Amino acid sequence: MSEPAPAPIGRAILGSLVGTSLEWYDFFLYGSAAALVFNEVFFPSFDPLTGTLLSFLTFAIGFLARPVGGILAGHYGDRFGRKKILLFTVSLMGGSTVAIGLIPSYAVIGVAAPILLILVRLAQGFALGGEWAGGALMIAERAPSARRGYLTSFVQVGVPIGTLLSTALLYLMSGTLSRDAFVHWGWRVPFLVSVVVVLIGVYIRRRVGESPVFTELKEEAGDSRAPLLTLLKTQPWDVLRVIGIRAGADIVYYLLVTFLLTYVTTTLGLPRGVGLLATLIGAGMQLFTYPAFAALSDRYGRKGVTIFGAAGAIAWMFVFFPLVDTKSTGLIVLAVLGGLFFHSAMYGVQASWICELFDARHRYSGASLGYQLSGIVGGSLAPTIAVALLGISDSTVPVVAYVCAALALVLVTALLTRETQGGSLRETSVAETARSAS
């Protein structure tokens, strides 16, 4: 069967890019605020390190809700289409982020403050759980196979855009306000801004049509009644492969972006703006490195690019902390840039590779479940584990060992995962339909 026409791809990319940028803006805003201020606002009765540890635990709680959101979004996305689910997820994410900005502090309402924070954080995680796979599929199922890696990588570009927006606003507020003003109300402003940007995201997504592969599949065979069960019966190992490929990349990313903020301020005693500046510059670089590595994967394959990124990141970890410990702003920025460069090789190709691994009748379920379970194994506890290891040993050596072990898992899993570059997602749907009918 012929490739899908490329005409609607531009609008699909825009819809996915804007939506995922808003989603990750909201999500990373929480992570940055947890590192910088939540220990004082919601856990003021603890020492700074313990308060930060508790803040990161609330960060991790959001990841626990992501598989639930991914399962439900995958189920209904495989049954009724990608578009409706994506409208719901972006609305819920924006609403929950605004709610975080309105929660009174511990000083005002006591223990109810962290409880409300946890509840709203669960809503955030639930929304993000269904977001990524739908955005990736809206592009991947339209893209010509020869350029699918490059085009689908724009859903990944939403991550650095969201990081740039959230970090820039926090950097602005923390840099222009006194510490007391920032803790009292300044940190809330970036959360409240979500009410504007989410309306933009909803408007754009309403104008994007349904995935042509899903529409064709529904016309041929109707909707899948139990896509998750079919997935677990036919492709359980591919779900595990996604977890193996994703988890290590998540861990190294949250070390570079979230844990770094705490390390440079609490351990090194540097201004909080140093870590935020490094994150801003790194996110700016990844606007270009994600598509660049994804384009290379269209030529050389998803597997080879991923292996390059994991191996390079392992080597870089041995120079990362020595550079950061110099307390030189320039060298700290260099340390982050090097790590995010190799992370880009792993993460930039994941949208296309993960989508290509699964059959069309349960593709949303497979991509969502694998991606979000890896978040629990990887990114959810990465900052917490790193802080705990640092506190126990008073050394960064165990932190480096932890990250390198996770990256070694990426290497092994990539070697054991089939190459999918150049395959047709539309042909996969036809093959699956035939198997279902037999």
Alpha helices in 106-259 (DSSP H): 106-109, 112-140, 148-152, 154-176, 179-181, 188-192, 194-206, 212-221, 227-234, 236-254
**Which DSSP string do the residues of 415-430 spell out, in sequence order?**
HHS---TT--HHHHHH
Distance CA 73, CA 133 (A): 9
Ranges of each domain in the chain: 9-437
Which pLDDT tens digits describe the chain residue by residue (438 residues)? Answer: 344 444 467 777 887 887 778 777 877 787 778 777 787 888 776 666 677 777 777 777 777 788 888 888 877 777 777 777 888 888 888 888 889 889 998 888 888 888 888 888 888 888 888 888 888 888 888 888 889 999 999 999 988 888 788 878 877 887 787 878 888 888 888 888 888 877 877 887 777 767 666 676 666 655 566 778 888 888 899 999 999 999 999 999 988 888 888 899 888 888 878 888 898 899 899 999 999 999 999 999 999 999 999 999 999 999 999 999 999 999 999 999 999 999 999 999 999 999 899 987 888 888 888 888 887 788 777 888 888 898 888 889 999 999 999 999 999 999 999 998 887 676 544 344 344 333
What lies within 8 Å, CB to CB, of 335 at 6+ separation is: 278, 319, 320, 321, 323, 324
Classified as helix, coil or strand, 211 is coil
Distance CA 390, CA 47 (A): 15
CATH of 9-437, one of 3.40.50.300, 1.20.1250.20, 1.10.8.60, 3.40.50.2300: 1.20.1250.20
CA angle 276, 278, 280 (to 5 degrees): 70
- Asked if 372 and 70 touch (Cβ cutoff 8 Å), the reply is yes
- Asked if 366 and 235 touch (Cβ cutoff 8 Å), the reply is yes
CB atoms within 10 A of CB 208: 21
- Asked if 396 and 390 touch (Cβ cutoff 8 Å), the reply is yes
Q: What pLDDT is stored for residue 438 in this prediction?
A: 36
Q: What pLDDT is stored for residue 214 in this prediction?
A: 67
Q: What pLDDT is stored for residue 219 in this prediction?
A: 63
- Asked if 170 and 272 touch (Cβ cutoff 8 Å), the reply is no
Distance CA 279, CA 288 (A): 15
Burial class (CB in 10 A: 0-12, 13-18, 19+), 350: buried
CA angle 328, 329, 332 (to 5 degrees): 85
**Which DSSP string do the residues of 163-206 spell out, in sequence order?**
HHHHHHHHHHHHHHS-HHHIIIIITHHHHHTHHHHHHHHHHHHH
Classified as helix, coil or strand, 226 is coil
Name the CA dihedral angle for 406, 411, 415, 419, rounded to a multiple of 10 degrees. 90
Distance separating the N- and C-terminal Cα atoms of the chain:
20
